[in-house]
Amino acid sequence: MKLFSSPTSPYVRKVLVVLRETGQLNDLETEVVGGTPIDPGSLPRDLNPLGKIPALALDDGTAIYDSRVICRFFDNRAKSGLYGTPETTWQLQTLEATADGILDAAILMVYEARVRPEDKQYADWIEAQWRKINTTLDALETSWIDILSSDEMHIGQIATSCALGYLDLRSADRDWRKTRPKLAAWNAEFAKRDSMVATVPVAN
């Protein structure tokens, strides 16, 4: 198997954390690729016609994507239980989707600043994305904190911590921790896990 990745992609980081937590990191190769919505560069469009990463090339010649599908694949492969029981899995998958929604908005903010010419950047668009992030962070602080604080590790925790790490990387000046002490305290502990420390992205 081969995982197509990028060192700063939070979606890739989520997959790498799952691989480390389930003992499967050495079961596949990784290949670093890169591109943007305007210039796909070396992104694996033959594997994912959307030209997005992560994409996983399987040994039988087929491919799977995106990060949620790949994480579920490796969880099932290792029988690690990161997606809970039949009774709890939908809640955990909703939490994962919630965290990925933070990433979707945060990456749109990055692209607006990096890809658009300066005279065409739309400040109101950027702030609209941050409002989505803000309301979602508030929900994590109030409605989701008990599930995040579970002693039994699950995919929702991994996805949330990776999303918060991306905010630290790209939007540190927004200070998401300021009004969310419970979420900040939870993440401070979860981020100490070996799998999280080993996958901290470096700004480029």
**Residue whose C-alpha is closest to residue 79's, from 5, 21, 28, 151:** 21
What integer is the mean pLDDT of 54-80? 96
Predicted local confidence at residue 13, as pLDDT: 98
C-beta of residue 161 within 8 angstroms of C-beta of residue 187:
yes
Mean pLDDT, rounded, of the chain:
94
Predicted local confidence at residue 48, as pLDDT: 86
Give the separation between CA 33 and CA 44, rounded to whole angstroms. 8
Fold exhibited by the domain 89-197: Glutathione S-transferase Yfyf (Class Pi); Chain A, domain 2 (1.20.1050)
Residues of the chain with CATH 1.20.1050.10: 89-197
Predicted local confidence at residue 129, as pLDDT: 97
Residues of the chain with CATH 3.40.30.10: 2-78
Predicted local confidence at residue 8, as pLDDT: 92
79-125: pLDDT as tens digits = 999 999 999 999 999 999 999 999 999 999 998 888 788 888 889 99
Torsion angle of C-alpha atoms 112, 118, 119, 123, degrees rounded to 10: 40
Residues 6+ apart with CB under 8 A from 75: 18, 22, 81, 82, 83, 155
178-202: pLDDT as tens digits = 999 999 999 999 999 999 999 998 8
Fold exhibited by the domain 2-78: Glutaredoxin (3.40.30)
